[in-house]
Amino acid sequence: MPTLSHRIRLNPTPDQELYFRKAAGTARFVYNWALAEWNRQYQAHVEDPSRPKPSAAAIKRQFNELKYEQFPWMHEIHRDAHAQPFANLAKAFSSWWKALESGGRCKAPTFKRKGRSRDGFYIANDKLSLDGNRVRIPVLGWVDMAEVLRFPGKVLSAAVSRTADHWFISISVDVSDETYRRQRLSDGVVGVDLGVKAALTCSNGEVFDAPKPLKNALRRLKIRQRRVTRKVKGSKNREKAKMQVSRLHERITNLRNDWTHKITTKLVRENQAIGLEDLNVSGMLRNHKLARAIADIGFGEIRRQVTYKALRYASELVLYPRFAPSSKKCHVCGHVLATLSLSVREWTCPRCGDFHDRDLNAAKVIEQYVRDSLVLC
């Protein structure tokens, strides 16, 4: 059965928030302890191959034998908070190894730092219960939620996390096909060109500009970051100034996510097939002249959301080949220019004489590729 997640803001009391901080700190401590032990055992294996390679299960058993003896304060926190970090560490190393095997760029798992704006811990489904806009958390009891869970079904797990000074719970639910599937409004076919000047240019002529919240908040962000540097390290005022920066970052993220969700839902709800370019976003972000603008729009997030939402609306996502010409290819006659610099926004085809807007022409080329792909399918 398909799975959906709902992220809901919590309204904890001061005592409940204190427990959240302790549980998140415990999860961070256990993760760092396990990572240090993993690195130690791996180094011992390199020096002496007869010793076994480290594994998350073995390190977890080792930790369970000594945790209450060496760390008695863990009795105050439910065991899920200090059991899940081992699975997270195993997943982190697995992702790192896969990236290395595929030739990608990925950093090895690193230690988690205290004082980051985001913290969290895991709760298993058998320890969780819901009652309207309340959730029962082990050890803590009932905690108020800002809204009720919108997806009916079997609760699989939950994770409590912090963004700035707000706490959220993300609940994963196993839902029925009727709940998962959504009805499309129409059955169009559209090609979408992603850009910096216009965030999305569709082959039907629609153009969508991104809100660019980071660009609009840069001045305020610089002022608040400057205030942090002028405070004494370790002081209460420095923590308050850091929280102001975190709140502004949260607002920037919320504005971007709101726009991205609305625009991606519109695309999959109104079209049976959507064409996107297979962009190398990580490579584009290494261009220091375009990195901030690209990240502010969120090219990678747009593709991620269209991918999973297309499944819910039974739409087809078609990726235009990464190295195939789009902007410099005429959608009328198929002529391809030898070169076309980024500064050129309009051009005329030397073969058929048709006048093109750069982004709209690329979107129409992508649409033609989508239609050809559907015919072949």
Q: What is the pLDDT of residue 111?
A: 93
Catalytic site positions? 193, 277, 359
Q: What is the pLDDT of residue 107?
A: 82
Once rounded to an integer, what is the mean pLDDT over residues 96-111?
A: 83
Q: What is the pLDDT of residue 377?
A: 60
pLDDT tens profile 198-238: 999 999 999 999 999 999 999 999 999 999 999 999 899 99
pLDDT over 70 (residue 376): no
> From start to end of the chain, where are the E strands?
3-11, 120-124, 129-131, 134-137, 141-145, 154-163, 166-174, 188-194, 200-202, 207-208, 271-277, 316-320, 346-348, 355-357
pLDDT over 60 (residue 271): yes
Fold of the CATH domain 188-213+247-376: Nucleotidyltransferase; domain 5 (3.30.420)
pLDDT over 80 (residue 115): no
H or E element, residue 50:
none
| Strand partners of residue 7 | 170
Once rounded to an integer, what is the mean pLDDT over residues 72-89?
A: 93
Tell how many helices (H) and how many strands (E) occur in the chain: 10, 14
Once rounded to an integer, what is the mean pLDDT over residues 69-88?
A: 93
Measured CA to CA, the distance from residue 288 to residue 308 in angstroms comes to: 30
Q: What is the pLDDT of residue 25?
A: 94
Q: Where are the domains of the chain?
A: 3-177, 188-213+247-376
| Strand partners of residue 136 | 129, 142
Confidence of residue 260 (pLDDT cuts 50, 70, 90): very high
Q: Which residue has the higher pLDDT, 30 or 373?
A: 30
3-state secondary structure 283-351: HHCCCCCCHHHHHHHCHHHHHHHHHHHHHHCCCEEEEECCCCCCCCECCCCCCECCCCCCCCCEEECCC
First to last CA, the chain: 26
pLDDT over 60 (residue 312): yes
Pair of tokens at residue 45: 């294996």
